């Protein structure tokens, strides 16, 4: 059976598409809308060939494609842009058609080794959108708070009080919006019994708060997309890897820079919180410090332990208990 490979370069307003069929490449450009996507993919609905559809993960620009592809039985792959970039080697030149063609060649070669995309539930979709909105507002607030400090240096211009007042008004407004968004996130989780159970279990772990709980639920798609703690630890960038070349160059194991930095940051805050509480992670931290271990390396190990505890509670359908031991 012959296969059809479709590579899509996604942008805000348009989709540049490369189709490889019978060793021939054809190119299309369509509007990035649900109706245009459905109309385009209908051409392949009755095909007897296996149809592979691939695109890079571009965040919210992919939403229309996701909505359209849910109604078809294609083999869909969402590729990490870093994975794509590293696999291509030295590349010269770039445009949307070339990018779509490169995606086709990539998926044709690697589809056997990649996980297929699965549609999210409605609850997970809503949580992802709300967390993105929350992230944007926190970023804006952080910039405004930095400006507050800068304005205090402008007393000689006699503008500091006026600007501080304007900024404080914006910050207060953002705080109100954040409370509304966080309340909506909690309501969505409460309305889904499975997500509610998962949330309750995770929050029994010392150091794990609401933000890490929300992120773990959405990143793992309710612990369906990622159900292995080692994979999650690697994704979060808390697993050290060896770095050596032959016998002459040897370095200490270190974590990879290719990680979800936002998740890693929240895990770090969870680890810092955990070592301040009365639990075995604090005991572990103090013991390793006494042994002379590097503090950041110990905290990284605690981040890893938190991930393993999260998955242990989910897989065993239980809650955290002090001195909990993972077999």
* Of residues 77 and 92, more confidently modeled: 77
Residue 253 to residues 54, 239, 279: CA-CA distances in angstroms?
A: 34, 9, 28
For the domain with range 3-113, which CATH number is right: 3.90.180.10, 3.40.50.720, 3.40.30.10, 3.30.420.40?
3.30.420.40
Residues above pLDDT 90, as percent of the chain: 62
Mean pLDDT of 189-204: 96
Cβ-based neighbours of 82, under 8 Å, separated by 6 or more: 258
Residue 327's pLDDT band, with cuts at 50, 70 and 90, is very low
Mean pLDDT of 296-302: 93
pLDDT value at residue 229: 93
178 by Cβ neighbours in 10 Å (0-12 / 13-18 / 19+) ranks as middle
Q: What is the pLDDT of residues 78-98, one digit of tens each?
A: 998 877 777 766 566 667 788
Look at 68-72, 91-95, 290-294, 320-324 and tell me which has the smallest mean pLDDT: 91-95
Q: What is the pLDDT of residues 144-180, one digit of tens each?
A: 888 877 776 666 666 667 778 888 899 999 999 999 9
15 by Cβ neighbours in 10 Å (0-12 / 13-18 / 19+) ranks as buried
Torsion, CA 280, CA 281, CA 284, CA 288, rounded to 10:
-170
Are the beta carbons of 198 and 210 closer than 8 angstroms? no
Rg value, the chain, Cα: 24
Nearest CA-CA partner of 128 in 238, 225, 228, 273? 225
């Amino acid at each position: 059976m012959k296969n059809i490979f479709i590579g899509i370069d996604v942008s805000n307003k348009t989709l540049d598409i490369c189709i490889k069929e019978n060793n021939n490449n054809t190119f299309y450009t369509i509007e990035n809308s649900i109706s245009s996507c459905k109309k385009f993919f209908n051409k392949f609905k009755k095909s007897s060939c296996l149809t592979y559809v691939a695109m890079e993960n571009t965040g919210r620009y992919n939403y229309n494609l996701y909505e359209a592809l849910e109604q078809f039985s294609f083999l869909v792959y969402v590729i990490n842009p870093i994975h794509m970039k590293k696999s291509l080697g030295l590349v010269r030149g770039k445009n949307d058609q070339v990018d779509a063609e490169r995606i086709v060649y990539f998926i044709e070669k690697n589809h056997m080794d990649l996980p297929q995309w699965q549609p999210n539930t409605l609850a997970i979709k809503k949580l992802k959108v709300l967390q993105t909105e929350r992230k944007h507002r926190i970023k804006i607030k952080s910039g405004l708070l930095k400006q507050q400090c800068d304005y205090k240096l402008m007393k000689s211009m006699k503008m500091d009080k006026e600007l501080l007042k304007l900024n404080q008004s914006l910050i207060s407004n953002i705080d109100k919006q954040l409370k509304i968004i966080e309340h909506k996130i909690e309501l969505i989780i409460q309305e889904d019994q499975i997500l509610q159970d998962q949330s309750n279990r995770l929050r029994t772990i010392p150091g794990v708060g609401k933000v890490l709980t929300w992120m773990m639920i959405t990143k793992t798609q309710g612990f369906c997309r990622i159900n292995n703690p080692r994979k999650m630890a690697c994704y979060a960038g808390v697993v050290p890897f060896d770095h050596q070349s032959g016998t002459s160059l040897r370095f200490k194991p270190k974590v990879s820079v290719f990680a979800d930095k936002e998740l890693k940051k929240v895990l770090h805050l969870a680890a810092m919180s955990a070592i301040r509480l009365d639990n075995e992670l604090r005991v572990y931290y103090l013991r390793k410090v006494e042994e002379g271990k590097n503090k950041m390396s110990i905290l990284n190990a605690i981040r890893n332990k938190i991930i393993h505890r999260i998955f242990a509670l989910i897989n065993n359908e239980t809650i955290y208990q002090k001195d909990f031991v993972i077999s």
